[in-house]
């Protein structure tokens, strides 16, 4: 399983898990960017938060600023406010202060669809199975983007 290292900061390493050749979180961000206007601004904000804010701030700061929420089942979300729906990135913790982002979506209300949660749980399970089998392939974000 390919894991894209988005950033390593003073507190965390933030990564995104790929499914086959695609990285759902980075594809989500790119799709927002491609829409232009307000979505482009959101795209840049999401990427900046995943590469600068999250790696360099404590999880206590994330909670205090309502940037992160515990969804249960060892799945968490980063969320960005605003009109027209709330972008969310679902993630989980790995050892050694690693955050692994596995799914992204936009929701117009506070409820998360069951299938979004089930997908995040499945990708978490797949990640740990690949890790146990020694099949995690870490690449830097620049390398991932160059090979797209």
For 14-41, the pLDDT digits (tens) are 999 999 989 999 999 999 888 766 688 8
- Higher-confidence residue: 73 or 37? 73
92 in a structural domain: yes
Q: How many domains does the chain have?
A: 1
95 in a structural domain: yes
Domain encompassing residue 127: 2-110+122-143
116 in a structural domain: no
Residue 54: predicted pLDDT: 96
Q: How far is CA 67 from CA 5, 38, 48, in A?
A: 20, 19, 13
DSSP 97: T
Residue 140: predicted pLDDT: 96
pTM: 0.93
């Amino acid at each position: 399983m390919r894991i894209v290292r988005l950033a390593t900061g003073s507190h965390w390493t933030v990564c995104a898990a790929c499914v086959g050749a695609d990285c759902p979180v980075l594809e989500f961000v790119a799709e927002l960017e491609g829409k232009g206007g307000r979505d482009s601004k959101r795209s840049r904000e999401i990427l900046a938060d995943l590469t600068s804010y999250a790696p360099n701030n404590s999880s206590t700061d994330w909670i205090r600023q309502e940037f992160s929420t515990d969804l249960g089942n060892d799945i968490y979300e980063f969320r960005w406010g605003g009109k027209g729906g709330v972008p969310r990135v679902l993630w989980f913790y790995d050892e050694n202060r690693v955050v692994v982002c596995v799914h992204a979506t936009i929701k117009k209300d506070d409820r998360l669809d069951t299938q979004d949660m089930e997908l995040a749980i499945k990708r978490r399970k797949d990640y740990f199975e690949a890790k146990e089998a020694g099949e995690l392939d870490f690449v830097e974000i620049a390398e991932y983007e160059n090979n797209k």
